[in-house]
Structure 1
Amino acid sequence: MRWEALFADLEAQLAAQSAAELDVEIAELTRAERATVAIADRLRAAQDVVLTLRLRGGSAVEGLVLDVAPQWVLLGEHGRRALIPLAAIATVGGLGRQAAPRPGAVEGRLTLGHALRALARDRVLVQIDLEGVELAGRIERVGADHLDLAVGHGARVGDLLAVPFDGLRAVRSR
């Protein structure tokens, strides 16, 4: 009987050690998986959720998540649309813990330039928020790292301001 109890005790110790090792391995794999999640993946999982984005420079935008790409998020706010470069976001409020899978090949290549070119093509009147400055007009051209904005309602193409993408905080439809 003593031998059986000794072997049962050794088996229980081995099972407990194996379970502890498995718990450590699961925790390590979870941390490694979380390290691959980008903010765009979490924003995509928040589709149709109202979020509050605090932007660099201190302003805030609150709206319903309509679309997300690797470089931008599109929010619906009070009947308007706000295109926010991810690089302009300081914090996100209201975001859950979920993450969506990585985007497909085509969606993964949609840059901020693509979204801005669509606004230029459609001749949309926009309000552009820069840090401490707001500009209104039409996007006339979009380059690799900047856009040309015809300022004002009756702006001529000669009245253009070049706006680097790095300075953009939000681009709102008017």
Structure 2
Amino acid sequence: MRWDRFFDDLEDQLASEWEAERAALDTEAERLRLSRVALRDRLHALIARDRDAPTPSFEFSDGTRLAAEVTGVGADWVAVETPAARGGALLVPLGAIVEIGMPHADVLRTARPGPAPSSLVDRMTLGFLVRDLVRRRVAVAIALRTGRVLSGTIDRAGADHLDIALHDPGTPRRADLVTGHRVVPFGSISWIRLEAGVAIG
């Protein structure tokens, strides 16, 4: 009888040690998985979030703070729109995001593995989108990391910068209405606001 109890205790001890070892391996595997999750993956997961939950809040490098829904994610940018959609969509370089506030359920859900992005938009860079804005002659407002906002039309886009012709919002880009020209490195951009109704991508 005593031997039976001894073997039962030994079996329980081995099972407990095995369970602890398996839990440690699971924890380490989860840490390794999380170390590979990129911000753009988490932003991509916000596109399909429950719209009945509180809207995520964003702070950008120029100090702008707003509640907005993610509508698109590219290689190095995110597109967001405010629920009221006033003034058009914002195109934001990932490096200009200072922080994102979201409900705890979204924090947990966006950290889980999701489907691998596969659309063409997912591979588009900021430069690609800016060159598309040049082609379409879209009026924009560009917020710089310093807090200044430039309004006008982007004339040209290089590998890492753009040229903007400055003019008042709501006016066409005509030579007599242009008040100046600026060369803006992509690295100094906090966000680009597109005129209302303009789609990204």
TM-score (norm 1): 0.90
Q: CA deviation at 1:70?
A: 2.8
- Show the 5 A alignment for 1:32-111: 32-47=32-47, 50-77=55-82, 78-79=84-85, 80-94=88-102, 96=106, 97-99=108-110, 100-104=114-118, 106-111=120-125
Code of the residue aligned with 1:45 in structure 2: it is: A
SS in 1 for 2:31: helix
The number of aligned residues is: 174
Q: Tell me, which stretches of 5 or more residues in structure 1 are unaligned?
A: none
Question: Partner residue of 1:11?
Answer: 11
Distance verdict in 2 for CA 1:158–1:135, change over 3 Å: closer
1:138 aligns with 2:143: no
Cα-Cα RMSD: 2.0
Residue 137 of structure 2, aligned match among 104, 107, 123: 123
Q: Distance in 1 between matches of 2:65 and 2:174?
A: 28
Q: CA deviation at 1:149?
A: 0.7
Question: Partner residue of 2:20?
Answer: 20
Residue 167 of structure 1, aligned match among 188, 196, 200: 188
More strand by share: 1
Question: Partner residue of 1:112?
Answer: 126
Residues 74 and 122, structure 2, Cα contact 8 Å, conserved in 1: yes
State the percentage of identical aligned residues.
36
Q: Distance in 2 between matches of 1:63 and 1:155?
A: 33
Q: CA deviation at 1:124?
A: 0.9
Q: Tell me, which stretches of 5 or more residues in structure 2 are unaligned?
A: 196-201
Q: Distance in 2 between matches of 1:105 and 1:46?
A: 16
TM-score (norm 2): 0.79
Residues 41 and 101, structure 1, Cα contact 8 Å, conserved in 2: no
Q: CA deviation at 1:4?
A: 1.4
Q: CA deviation at 1:170?
A: 0.8
Q: Distance in 2 between matches of 1:76 and 1:124?
A: 17
Residues 137 and 155, structure 1, Cα contact 8 Å, conserved in 2: no
